[in-house]
Amino acid sequence: MLALLARLLSALGVGGVATLVDLSTLTALVELVGLSPEQANLPSLLAGGAVQFLGSRSVVFKASGPLHQHLVGFVLVECVTLALNAVLFYLLVRMAPSYYPVLRLGSSFIVFVGFSFPAWHWVFKEEAEPE
């Protein structure tokens, strides 16, 4: 149980770094390069996602094995995560629209703990050694 808590805290730390990379990239592309926020959105999300993937694989789960399998699994989990975040945020905002920033953080955390983090255990699962 303690190891799972340590892994969860590590994943939250990696997520924090990924968020900083995302927001820093977004800001740099808008302010320094001159892109619109809409144009800068996808590259910044991809930069943050890359940090999340690499950090989760190497720091949180210390996974080895085929990179492409981990990447495909991670992308599939993130697609479901996006849909869950969208639905939960929509439902919460309908109940309390003026609290949308707090609801964004709360709904993202609920989806992370309830879906993403458990699913990443499947994505980064080590293959059993053949006997």
3 with 54, same domain: the answer is yes
* Integer Cα distance of 87 and 110 in angstroms: 12
| Last residue within a domain, chosen from 25, 47, 62 | 62
* Integer Cα distance of 3 and 55 in angstroms: 17
| Last residue within a domain, chosen from 12, 39, 62 | 62
42 with 92, same domain: the answer is no
54 with 80, same domain: the answer is no
Three-state SS for 116?
A: helix
| Last residue within a domain, chosen from 10, 29, 62 | 62
32 with 22, same domain: the answer is yes
pLDDT of 30: 94
DSSP string, 45-111: HHHHHHHHHHHIIIIIS---S-HHHHHHHHHHHHHHHHHHHHHHHHHHHHH-GGGHHHHHHHHHHHH
* Integer Cα distance of 63 and 121 in angstroms: 10
pLDDT of 122: 94
* Integer Cα distance of 32 and 18 in angstroms: 20
pLDDT of 130: 55
**Which residues of the chain fall below pLDDT 50?**
none
Structural domains of the chain, count? 2
**Domain span at residue 43?**
1-62
pLDDT of 97: 85
38 with 80, same domain: the answer is no
57 with 116, same domain: the answer is no
